[in-house]
Amino acid sequence: MPVPLPLTVLQVLPALVSGGVERGTLEIAEAILRAGGHALVASAGGPLVERLEALGARHVTLPLRTKNPLHILRNAGALAELVRAEGVRILHARSRAPAWSALLAARCTGVHFVTTYHGTYNEGFPGKRLYNSVMARGERVIAISDFIAGHLRARHGTDPARIRIIPRGVDPALFDPAAVAPVRLAALRAAWHLPPDRPVVMLPGRLTRWKGQAVLVEAMARVPEAVAVLVGGGNPAYRDELARRIAALGLADRVRFAGHAEDVPAALLLADVVVHASTDPEAFGRTVIEAQAMARPVIAADLGAPRETVKQGVTGWRVTPGDPRALADLLNAVLAMPAGARAAIGARARAHVLAHYTTRAMQDATLDLYRELA
């Protein structure tokens, strides 16, 4: 039986809009409550506040999006007051500007300070490394992959004794091929105008350059018959640029912009192959394990954390980043495989996710870290 965690934990982040950081915040709040603790979240608010409060957690609205130094100091004071008033034992910061406020509040109040290092964070101008370094200043620093743990040691000289590697996870009940009713698949297939007799190649991810949609578009010119679906919203200018290139390559009938998908499990289940084509290293890459949880064959760019989550030739394949020809060659090879061979890869991928990358495993490891401190 799990050890109860009768603690008050305050998580801080800029806002509760959408994204992996926000989902992780809700998942940890749920775990704290399930363990008998009190879950507080401070942010500037957003549409996920309602879901958070439905779990039984409490949200406190503070202007934590700001990077203004004066406002960061004011937020530190507000967080310190909240810590004292609510008996908070652990302050858990998930983003840089709020983390500076949380660090100051923790020092004022003497509570434990934890950070989750979610990305590599660019250093494009002087002082940026110092600004980023707050995410490495936790009494414990959660790295969301081995790749990020290595980055912490190399970039910030973080003592390995303070680092805890806790990968992100998926809910295997939600991301379960057997749980997707045929009507859900039919609805998406009709909405996206997918012909029943053509293989589907899917790239889920925000429409932003480094996610590599352009790499897949170029590759599709060398992959006959297949239809590519770009799932995700984002930069309208980049979308227009992609659309022009799609037209120039004569691919207008074979590449779809699907926009944001509410039913991600069903979307993934429509794919014969799911592609991750990022040209910058992913700190983790949740879409990769979501696709694998749905028993989909995955081709991932060979950099960052997907090197950990995709076992070459066993649970999927990795390909040279930013190389459309290499991606096209691999897509053609995978699509030419017998359906049973692809299904075997997908089955091994799902088993690997269930063994290593579930939401419950992430929650339990985080609670263990809290217990270690408190």
Residue 1 lies in a domain: no
> For residue 1, what pLDDT is reported?
45
Residue 3 lies in a domain: no
Structure tokens at 62: 């503070």
Q: Which of 57-61, 107-111, 118-122 has the lowest mean pLDDT?
A: 118-122
Same domain, 239 and 126: no
| 159-184 confidence digits (pLDDT tens) | 999 999 999 999 999 999 999 999 99
Please write down the HEC assignment for all residues of 194-246.
CCCCCCEEEEECCECHHHCHHHHHHHHCCCCCCEEEEEECECHHHHHHHHHHH
> Could you write out the DSSP letters of every residue in 82-141?
HHHHHT--EEEE-SHHHHHHHHHHHHHHT-EEEEEE-S-----STTHHHHHGGGG-SSEE
pLDDT of 374 over the 80 cut:
yes
What average pLDDT does range 109-116 have in this prediction?
Answer: 97
Residue 322 lies in a domain: yes
> For residue 224, what pLDDT is reported?
95
Same domain, 341 and 364: no
Residue 237 lies in a domain: yes
Strand order in the sheet with 112-117: 58-61, 38-43, 8-12, 90-93, 112-117, 140-143, 163-165
Q: What is the percentage of the chain residues whose pLDDT exceeds 70?
A: 99
> For residue 206, what pLDDT is reported?
92
| 320-357 confidence digits (pLDDT tens) | 999 999 999 999 999 999 999 999 999 999 999 999 99
Same domain, 80 and 164: yes
pLDDT of 133 over the 50 cut:
yes
Q: Tell me the β-bridge partners of 274.
A: 202, 298
> For residue 335, what pLDDT is reported?
97
Structural domain of 349? 177-356
Q: Tell me the β-bridge partners of 255.
A: 228
Same domain, 92 and 156: yes
Same domain, 215 and 93: no
Q: Is 99 within 8 Å of 131 (Cβ atoms)?
A: no
pLDDT of 209 over the 60 cut:
yes
Residue 259 lies in a domain: yes
| 283-323 confidence digits (pLDDT tens) | 999 999 999 999 999 999 999 999 999 999 999 999 999 99
pLDDT of 126 over the 80 cut:
no
Same domain, 156 and 193: no
Q: Is 114 within 8 Å of 139 (Cβ atoms)?
A: yes
Sign of CA pseudo-dihedral 253, 255, 256, 261:
positive
Same domain, 195 and 155: no
Same domain, 18 and 164: yes
What is residue 2's DSSP assignment? P
What average pLDDT does range 140-146 have in this prediction?
Answer: 97
pLDDT of 3 over the 70 cut:
no
Same domain, 268 and 282: yes
Same domain, 120 and 71: yes
pLDDT of 226 over the 60 cut:
yes
Same domain, 103 and 156: yes
Query: The domain spanning residue 160 has which CATH number?
Result: 3.40.50.2000
- Report the 10 Å Cβ neighbour count for 177: 16
pLDDT band of 200, cuts 50, 70, 90:
very high
Residue 285 lies in a domain: yes
The rounded distance, in Å, linking the Cα atoms of 136 and 149 is 10
pLDDT, averaged across the chain: 95
Of 223, 175, 243, 234, nearest to 335 (Cα)? 223
Same domain, 113 and 236: no
Residue 164 lies in a domain: yes
Residue 190 lies in a domain: yes
142 membership: H or E segment, kind and range: strand 140-143
Our count of domains for the chain comes to 2
pLDDT of 4 over the 70 cut:
no
What average pLDDT does range 20-24 have in this prediction?
Answer: 91
* Choice between 86 and 20, residue whose per-residue pLDDT is larger: 86
